[in-house]
Structure 1
Amino acid sequence: MTLTALDVGAPMQPIRALVDSPEQGVLAVIVNIEGPSYRPLGAMMAVFKDKRRVGSLSSGCVEADIALHALEALANGRPKTVHYGRGSSYRDIQLPCGGGMSVLLIPAPDLSVLRDICECHAARKVLTLRIHTDTGALSLIGDTEAAVEEATFVLQINPELRFYVFGKGPEASTFASLVQTMGHAILLLSPDNETLEAAMRVGCNTQHLTNRSFPPDLSVDAYTAIILFFHDHDWEPPILAQALETPAFYIGAQGSRRARDIRLDELRNMGVLETSLERLVGPVGIIPSARDAGTLAVSVLAEVLATFDAKPVGSPKTG
């Protein structure tokens, strides 16, 4: 039995494709890795009769062969595991990373379970999916520590990364546009119509801020990042004081070291505890003193993604 954790909703695109397709398909899952690998344990791909593929399991070196095996499994209705790279009998197919991986092919996976996964994921719930590697049977279990039988693969699917961006001006709209382009969930909140309109032009969800406070209807979980881009720093303390009461994994605000120190003093005067202030990132970004909106956006996004990847959301276990 193997247990792993996947962030950023990695398996959801193939799962949704299988749920939405009028024809049956095959769910391909990486169930074992030896050495380096391009994709993580638990990565998924969907394959359909017309050889259409959704998702990827490598850098492109094995997907076509996986599709052939998937169609064979779909035709005979039996799950199949294929091995590539290190220790594989397919010597003409090499993995550039030098490692090895095993891919389980599940023909016509249980759509009722896949629909439940989609519904729970939309509600931002942590899911634990159990796959019987011999039969391809799927089931959801409520406890990641639940006992399972032999010949099973257990996968934790976490909510996707979500951004709440507060601010005004090109820094806020440029960052929101970059995050939107990357495909992450984002809501831009601003008191400025021009900032909101710039974000809406690239498809961002937006909300007009009418006062200096954190909207009470915002749902925040441990997979949420909150970033502030204000030049008028008077907006920051009341928003940050409330943001620091949430379980967001990243909370940061634009500004110089001097602006950061003033911000911290104002939050202390508001009664915010030092343990909460330690969570506040500032100056934000991995590039010191980034001065143009584009560089700042890339710098901050890189920092958020690195922080998210380092989150202790689970660790591989074997048994």
Structure 2
Amino acid sequence: MSVPALDASSVIEPIRSLSEARGVLAVVTRIDGPSYRPLGAMMAVLDDGRRVGTLSSGCVEADIALHAMKALENGTPVSVVYGKGSPFADITLPCGGGLEILLVPEPETDVLIALIAQHSARQHTALEIDARRGTVAIVPSGETGWRGEMFTVAIDPELAFYVFGKGPEAITFAGLVHAAGYPSVLLSPEEETLEIARAAGCETRHLTAAKFPADLHPDEMSAVLLFFHDHDWEPPILASALETEAFYIGAQGSQRAAEMRRNELTLLGVSADALARVRGPIGLIPSVRDARKLAVSVLADVLNEA
């Protein structure tokens, strides 16, 4: 399962860029009022001027880069404040809030590489930053925020999507989550579906039987979605999905199709408690008959539950 190579929306991309090039890690360490980005949001400013990630709606990134270059030259961490309480009266935040940004020059590469490995292994982890010395360390877990002079950034696995089905609904949803930068894979018994999805850059697998591949292991940050018109494919796939930790499991179709699906799962020995985990019809918008609208509706539903 892959993420687009140049995806800067992923929380790990600023870390990845700094593991490969000299630069400064910029972290939101305080928010006063409304903010475009959350506490702990990170951006990398590389020594060639490139920036990876964002910390605002675009109003302070250029100035952050200037301060980052000074911090890189001096080799010491520094905090910069924007908006409320800032000495930079000419730089305002449209949201009316305030941001404090910690700039950490040249964080230890070996720590960043280890953090990337843990993230790739879909482990919950955290980066601890010494604001005074500028050193970084990995800690097993922790909430994002201050603890004395140490600021912790909690880093969770990305949401992952296992998409089963064929036709425009499956293709459109797989393309949407891929474009959004989420790890995802589309599994389909139909080669035409796979060809179109591959052309859009999606990771695909040929599904040769109505079953959940044994080598796939959705975790608690995963969603399993089924987009079949031939609902005979669904029960065995769903029954296996219900044995995983996936937080969202659902299938498209009408209320009648959902009832037939529940009956088939009951015949397969699925318990009432497990059946309650199966969502269907899926999506926030009822009775959707357009593949694009359905894809957005379903993704919004998943994100609302995440």
Q: Shorter chain as normaliser: what TM range? A: over 0.9
Q: Displacement, 1:263?
A: 0.6
Could you tell me which of 27, 30, 34 is aligned with 1:29? 27
The equivalent of 2:229 in structure 1 is 231
CA distance in 2, matches of 1:113, 1:9: 21
Which of 284, 287, 290 is residue 285 of structure 2 equivalent to?
A: 287
Q: CA deviation at 1:150?
A: 2.0
State the Cα distance separating 1:304 from its structure 2 match.
Answer: 1.3
> Secondary structure of the residue that 1:47 maps to in structure 2?
strand
In the alignment, is the contact (CA less than 8 A) between 1:9 and 1:158 conserved in 2? no
Counterpart of 2:3?
none
C-alpha separation in 1, matches of 2:10 and 2:200: 23
Are the structure 2 counterparts of residues 76 and 150 from structure 1 closer, same or farther at C-alpha, using a change threshold of 3 Å? same
Identity %: 57
Deviation >4 Å, runs of 4+: none
1:43 maps to 41
1:182 paired to 2:180: yes
Q: CA deviation at 1:236?
A: 0.5
Q: Identify which of 285, 295, 298 aligns with 2:296.
A: 298
- Distance across 2 between alignment mates of 1:121 and 1:9: 15
Does structure 2 retain, via aligned residues, the 8 Å contact 1:10–1:43?
A: no
> 1:81 and 2:85 equivalent?
no
> What TM-score do you get using the length of structure 2 for normalisation?
0.94
SS of the residue aligned with 1:207?
strand
| Letter paired with 1:57 | L
TM-score by length of 1: 0.90
Distance across 1 between alignment mates of 2:234 and 2:142: 39
Partner of 2:58: 60
Pair 1:12-2:12 in alignment:
yes
What residue is the counterpart of 1:199 in the other structure? 197
CA-to-aligned-CA distance 1:118-164 (integer Å, 9 cap, x gap)? 1111111111211111111101112438xx96201112101111110
SS at 2:142's partner residue? coil
How many residues were matched structurally?
A: 297
Residue-by-residue CA offset, 1:161-204 (whole Å, 9 max, x unaligned): 11100001111111111211222111111111111111111111
Q: 1:300 to 1:65 in 2, by over 3 A?
A: same
Tell me if 1:163 matches 2:161: yes
1:111 to 106, 109, 112: 109
In structure 2, distance between residues paired with 1:290 and 1:211: 28
Is 2:9–2:181's contact at 8 Å kept on the other side of the alignment? no
Counterpart of 2:4 in structure 1 is none
Counterparts of 1:26 and 1:143, CA distance in 2: 23
Higher relative contact order (CA 8 A, sep 6+): 1
Distance in 2 separating the partners of 1:196 and 1:92? 52
Instruction: Provide the rounded CA distance (Å) in 1 between the counterparts of 2:160 and 2:279.
Output: 17
After superposing the two structures, state which structure 1 stretch, 101-110 or 296-305, moved more.
Answer: 296-305
Q: What runs of 5+ residues in structure 1 fail to find an aligned partner?
A: 1-7, 309-319
- Gaps in structure 2 of 5+ consecutive residues: 1-7
State the superposition RMSD in angstroms.
1.5
Q: Could you say if the C-alpha distance between residues 149 and 158 of structure 1 is closer, same or farther in structure 2, counting changes exceeding 3 Å?
A: closer
